[in-house]
């Protein structure tokens, strides 16, 4: 039965797309809600449909656009999934394009304006745009304009963003009968177990992250960034800290505005403790070198320092001083979400008797409703904390992937 393969929401999409005509169909909503799965299958359906049209018109090799932010995201979200599901393994030409079902699939990358180069001047019989809200608007518009072949149709999927985003205002909210939009929530994916869905809900930070990732809503960020921080629960004293097995640091350079270094200690189960905060103004790099060397004396010479890359000369100085300095991953929203998830899961605690500036920042670090990002105020220690937590999480994730590949012989 079809219900053994697709969820109720996915069947609704099939009924509205396979059996009816349209120009643009956009699936938008929560992560893990089943959007990309059904779009991948519709992509295959569309290629077969294009081939039939081409046969009628005597077109030897019709062209179709497959687009995503980068080649890596197309591979991960679409091509790898098609291989896993149907053992489809395209043979790429020197331009990274391939032929499937008699249709030439041309890859275009939407993450920068140069992505239009691969499709400029072509006549396409359709397009599939993965992660559409991350596309440059000019690239998205160019893809739409290229789809001028007979019966051309455009598929797209996206997670929610700011409600003022151009994709929502110009396409998703568009009432034209030729544009279809389908909203997905996490609970629409009934192939995920109830236990898994409840665990995801409980571990997703409150506010914007929950509304977008779970409910699939296009909402603005409002209020305090770390809404789940509870002083009565997340502050601890030095004598309450358990045995810590690993240590790492975050560094936010400053002079007129505050500079800061934080030290994080973790238990074997990944619970993190902010155990030292060093924050001050009007100090040169020599001061921060001495602070870092003192940290090395207490926690070992190999303790990593994840540093703000805005001052490469300071990072270089740390390295000359044999301090294990690395450029931090500064992705703001992803970093904030990483910290927020730890707070929500009670996996991040703050040593209250070791911090002075953190308490002043945690409740004054708020969202910019218009931009959908935190306002750049009251963030000196919190930026250092974000650099440390997020960069360390990424490092652990990459290490786990390497171990997995070695273990299974990939």
Residue 407's pLDDT is 46
Q: Where are the alpha helices (DSSP H) in 253-346?
A: 285-299, 312-320, 332-344
**Most distant CA atoms of the chain, gap in Å:** 79
Q: What is the pLDDT of residues 154-207, one digit of tens each?
A: 999 999 999 989 999 999 999 999 999 999 999 999 999 999 999 999 999 999
Q: What is the pLDDT of residues 339-363, one digit of tens each?
A: 999 999 999 999 999 999 999 999 9
CATH 3.40.640.10 assigned to domain 2-204? The reply is: no
Radius of gyration of the chain (CA): 25
pLDDT level of residue 410 (50, 70, 90 thresholds): very low
Task: Tell how far CA 180 is from the center of its chain.
Answer: 25
Residue 400's pLDDT is 59
Same fold yes or no, 2-204 and 231-406: no
Distance CA(34)–CA(42), nearest Å, equals: 13
Q: Does residue 404 register a pLDDT over 80?
A: no
Q: What percent of the chain has pLDDT over 90?
A: 90
Other CB atoms within a 10 A radius of the CB of residue 204 amount to 23
Distance CA(155)–CA(43), nearest Å, equals: 8
Measured CA to CA in angstroms, residue 388 lies from 221, 250, 260, 340 at distances of 23, 4, 12, 13
The helix (H) or strand (E) run that includes residue 198 is helix 194-203
- Domain ranges, ordered by start, for the chain: 2-204, 231-406
Task: Tell how far CA 325 is from the center of its chain.
Answer: 25
**DSSP code of 237?**
-
Residue 408's pLDDT is 40
Helix (H, G, I), strand (E, B) or coil at 247: strand
DSSP 79-102: IHHHHHHH-------TTS-EEETT
Task: Tell how far CA 312 is from the center of its chain.
Answer: 26
Residue 291's pLDDT is 98
Residue 401's pLDDT is 63
Structural fold of domain 231-406: Nucleotidyltransferase; domain 5 (3.30.420)
Unique residue bearing structure tokens 């656009």: 65
């Amino acid at each position: 039965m079809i219900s053994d393969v697709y969820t109720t929401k996915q069947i609704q999409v099939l009924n509205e797309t396979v059996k009816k005509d349209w120009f643009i169909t956009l699936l938008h909503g929560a992560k893990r809600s089943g959007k990309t799965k059904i779009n991948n299958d519709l992509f295959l359906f569309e290629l077969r449909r294009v081939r039939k049209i081409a046969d009628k018109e005597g077109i030897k090799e019709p062209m179709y656009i497959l687009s995503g932010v980068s080649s890596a995201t197309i591979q991960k979200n679409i091509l790898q999934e098609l291989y896993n599901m149907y053992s489809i393994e395209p043979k790429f030409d020197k331009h990274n394009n391939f032929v499937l079902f008699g249709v030439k699939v041309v890859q275009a990358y939407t993450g920068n304006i140069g992505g239009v180069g691969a499709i400029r001047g072509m006549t396409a019989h359709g397009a599939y745009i993965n992660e559409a809200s991350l596309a440059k608007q000019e690239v998205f518009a160019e893809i739409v304009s290229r789809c001028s072949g007979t019966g051309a149709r455009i598929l797209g999927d996206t997670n929610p963003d700011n409600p003022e985003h151009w994709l929502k205002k110009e396409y998703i909210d568009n009432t034209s009968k030729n544009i279809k939009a389908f909203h997905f929530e996490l609970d629409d994916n009934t192939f995920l177990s109830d236990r898994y869905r409840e665990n995801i809900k409980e571990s997703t930070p409150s506010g914007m992250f929950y509304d977008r990732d779970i409910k699939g809503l296009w909402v603005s960020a409002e209020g305090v960034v770390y809404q789940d921080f509870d002083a009565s629960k997340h502050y601890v004293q030095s004598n309450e800290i358990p045995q810590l097995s690993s240590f790492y640091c975050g560094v936010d350079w400053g002079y007129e505005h505050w500079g800061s270094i934080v030290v994080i200690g973790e238990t074997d189960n990944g619970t993190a403790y902010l155990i030292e905060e060093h924050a001050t103004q009007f100090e040169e790099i020599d001061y921060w070198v001495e602070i870092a060397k003192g940290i090395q004396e207490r926690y070992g010479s190999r303790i990593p320092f994840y540093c703000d890359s805005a001052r490469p000369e300071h990072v270089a100085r740390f390295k000359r001083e044999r301090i294990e300095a690395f450029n931090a991953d500064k992705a703001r929203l992803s970093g904030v979400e990483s910290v927020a998830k730890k707070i929500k899961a009670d996996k991040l605690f703050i040593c209250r008797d070791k911090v002075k500036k953190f308490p002043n920042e945690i409740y004054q670090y708020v969202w910019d409703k218009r931009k959908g990002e935190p306002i750049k105020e009251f963030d000196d220690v919190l930026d250092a904390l974000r650099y440390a937590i997020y960069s360390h999480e990424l490092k652990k994730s990459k290490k786990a992937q390497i171990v997995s590949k070695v273990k299974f012989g990939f």
